[in-house]
Amino acid sequence: MRKAIAGAALAGACAAALVLARRERARLRLRRGMAAAGLVARGGARYAGSAPRLFAAAGEHRERLRNDLAMQTAEDVALTLGAMKGVLMKLGQMASYVDDGLSPAVRRTLSRLQDSVPPMSPDLAAGVIAEELGMRPERAFARWDPEPVAAASIGQVHRAMTHDGQAVAVKVQYPGIAESMAADLDNVALLRRMLKVTAPSQDVNALVTELRDRILEELDYHREAENQERMAAYYHGHPTIHVPRIVGGLSARRVVTSELSDGARWAEMTTWSQQERDLAAETIYRFVFRSLYEAHAFNGDPHPGNYLFHGGGRVTFLDFGLVKHFTAAELQPLIAMVRNLCVDNDPEAFRRAMEDAGFLVRGAPLSTDVVVDHLAVFYQTVRHPGRLTITPDYASAVVRRFFDLRSPVAAYVSVPRSYVILQRINLGLFALLGELGATADWRAIAEEIWPFVRGPASTPIGEAEAAWRAARRATGHPGAARAT
């Protein structure tokens, strides 16, 4: 396990890097819609409470659409999502936590693009099932609901029941979308154009490559099923974290079937008591950083639509399409950074770790005090013990600081490719926690998870989690050491 805070530090580094982007951008006219996609690159932005809603509501948008607009053929899919539109939507989704500098026109474009995708007709969806599973859904399943219950980014979700009576959620990919998006992602020149305005030029290649790879992975549901099953196995028996199991025989490249979960949606949960919201926040926080430090995996799609809430801090995590796996070597600098800064109080070592990871140019003419002063703010939730409330204002104030053009650090910071996706989780996570106004002793929770501390349980959930971990070790659960 490594630590939560490393993640936060990264967000800081990324945000600082993006100051460069901002500076570049300032010289250009304020852009209209399409460069929206470029915002992906911009890690910083505000953690405004409203930001996650931009794309969270995919399902809600869809409910408003009438079925008579449903896509009936693969040609309809191509017209709706081909020619870069699916890619643009995906990039927009990745940028959905990031609203700093998002002009109203850009927001409108991304939101309308999302609105513009109607569901597949029952026939079209059934055709995909038939091609993937070798039989029509009415045969593949004991019961099949032809009306989708939710939108997924490149498909939709149906409810069904298996022949042995298990209620399942079946995600069905739009036909032809993988091929057309893969072809669109080949147009690196156009992707670069979409990204270059907001990304520092030296990083655009890395950024394009990373985003391409992640999106391409997402097009193959085999991979998603594998990610999800791995996480489900890892968290099996966890007191508050639930990941639905994959139903193997009913999953394929364009179909993924998992155990059906029910629970309160994000919007409903935000109306719960502050105590309940704090518990939900704690579980999300634990999930993110336990996954990172122990499973070496980072779910890069932390948007509010991907959670179901059950009260008492119990949360079901959905959608593992965008998962970034880290090697131990990639995680090492993050661990070193948080350890050096927060535990060892060794600023010089912190700086060296940043340089080793490629976040900070080696030998930059900056005093270490300046570097620390500027980046430590991202570790603020875990630098000191004690309860702390994450508010939208707090989160955006932190980020705003990094968009300060006068920052002496900005010119010397960049984001290595491996960590591009990582910034999303920070932004996403803190946007969510901010929207919940969540309070906890984040440092104490972090210490439970930090591999170089392994502190004692600090909350009731922490105690339950410790018991779960002990039981797993006792039974020699393969995921006990590392899920990957």
Partner 1 sequence: MVTAEAYADAAGLVERSAAAYVAGVPESPADAGMFGPASVTWRVNTDPGRPIAGLRALLLQALHPLAMAGVDQHSNWRADPVGRLAATSGYLATICFGDRAAAQRAAARVRRIHEHVTGTDTVTGRPYAASDPALLLWVHATLVESGIVAAGLFGTPLPPADADRYASEMVAAAELVGVPAATVPATVAALAGYLAATRPQLRRTPAAVQSMAYLLDPPGLDADIAEIWADVRDGAVGSLPGWAQEMYGYQAPPLTPARQTEIRQALGILDAVFLGEPGVLEARQRITLRMRAAQRA
Positions that interact with partner 1 (CB under 8 A) = 28-35, 68-69, 75, 79, 82-85, 88, 105-106, 108-110, 112-113, 115-116, 183-184, 187, 189-190, 193-194, 197
Is the CB of 104 or the CB of 476 nearer to partner 1? 104
CA distance 197 to 213: 21
Is the CB of 26 or the CB of 329 nearer to partner 1? 26
Least Cα distance to 194 among 23, 414, 33, 415 occurs for: 33
Question: Are β-strands 314-317 and 241-242 bridged in parallel, bridged antiparallel, or unpaired?
Answer: parallel
Number of H helices, E strands in the chain: 22, 12
Is the CB of 31 or the CB of 417 nearer to partner 1? 31
**Residue 264, φ and ψ in degrees, nearest 5:** -80, 140
CB of 187 to partner 1, least distance (A): 5
CB of 353 to partner 1, least distance (A): 37
Is the CB of 121 or the CB of 414 nearer to partner 1? 121
CB of 73 to partner 1, least distance (A): 12
Is the CB of 57 or the CB of 88 nearer to partner 1? 88
CB of 34 to partner 1, least distance (A): 5
DSSP E strands, 1-91: none
CB of 138 to partner 1, least distance (A): 24
Structure token digits, residue 202: 């030296």
Is the CB of 75 or the CB of 131 nearer to partner 1? 75
CB of 419 to partner 1, least distance (A): 26
CA distance 244 to 232: 6
Dihedral of CA atoms 353, 1, 426, 304 in degrees, nearest 10, equals 170
What is the CB-side half-sphere exposure of residue 470 using CA atoms within 13 A?
Answer: 8
Residue 329, H or E segment = helix 328-338
Is the CB of 68 or the CB of 262 nearer to partner 1? 68
CB of 28 to partner 1, least distance (A): 5
The answer to whether residues 338 and 447 touch, using CB atoms and an 8 Å cutoff, is: no
Percentages (nearest 5) of helix, strand, coil residues in the chain: 55, 10, 35
Beta partners for residue 314, in sequence order: 311
